[in-house]
Amino acid sequence: GEWSALDEAFFYVGASSPLPGDLVVSEINYNPQGADDAEFVELRNVSSGNLILDGVRFSDGVSFTFPDHTVLAPGESTVVVGNESVFQGRYLDPSSPWSGGKPQIAGTFTGALDNGGEILELLDAAGGELLRFAYNDSGSWPGRADGRGSSAELEDLTDLPASQPELNEYLSTGERWRPSSEYHGSPGRDGAGPDNRVVFNELLSQPAPG
């Protein structure tokens, strides 16, 4: 007999496609200081299992489809970026003062994040909605993330709503986000939290003569 043609397949072990509540946008650098194309969006696996991101896509705000064989472990983050070479130079070059950690780069999105805020939408491979929320540059949203050197970080990743539309409403609320204390943000790793290193503890506004 004759051998059939070789066939190649990729099998996932212990991983599944994401459901609503499994993924969250955890950091947005929509108006970076110093380089407009240094934008990035960080996506975090907040589920308890490995997630297959093949075909998952950002379809509103920016456009990006995760390539085949993309698996995100529990608690792990990945970033989609505006310009990969700019991102690598700022965050991955050991000589850069802003390098730290080893953020996993999923790829480069098309379009750009609106400096005034817009809707971000994340769909699963079949087109089902995983996330749809709007960030903003005003109101209760962190002002330092609007071109002043910080990114917008989701403040608490431990008590997120696990269902929709509650998760979308949570992400759309500016009070849930904080400005990164790290200059240019902290892609691919947890931020240090509120910057409380400088405190005004005394003020003399009208000194008496002498």
Q: pTM score, two decimals? A: 0.86
Tokens 């991983």 correspond to 15
CA distances (Å), 134 to each of 11, 165, 167, in order?
Answer: 36, 13, 12
DSSP string covering 28-74: EESB-SS-GGG-EEEEEE-SSSEEE-TT-EEEESSBEEPPTT-EE-T
- Structure token pair of residue 16: 């599944």
Query: pLDDT, tens digit, for every residue of 139-192?
Result: 999 999 999 999 999 999 988 999 999 999 999 999 999 999 999 999 988 877
Query: Are the C-beta atoms of 78 and 106 separated by less than 8 Å?
Result: yes
Query: Are the C-beta atoms of 21 and 37 separated by less than 8 Å?
Result: no
Query: pLDDT, tens digit, for every residue of 99-121?
Result: 887 889 999 999 999 999 999 99
- Structure token pair of residue 171: 């992400």
Tell which residue, 101, 93, 127, has the closest CA to residue 42: 101
Q: Is the dihedral of CA 50, 57, 61, 165 positive or negative?
A: negative
Question: Phi, psi at residue 194, to the nearest 5°?
Answer: -55, 140
Query: pLDDT, tens digit, for every residue of 2-24?
Result: 776 666 555 566 789 999 999 99
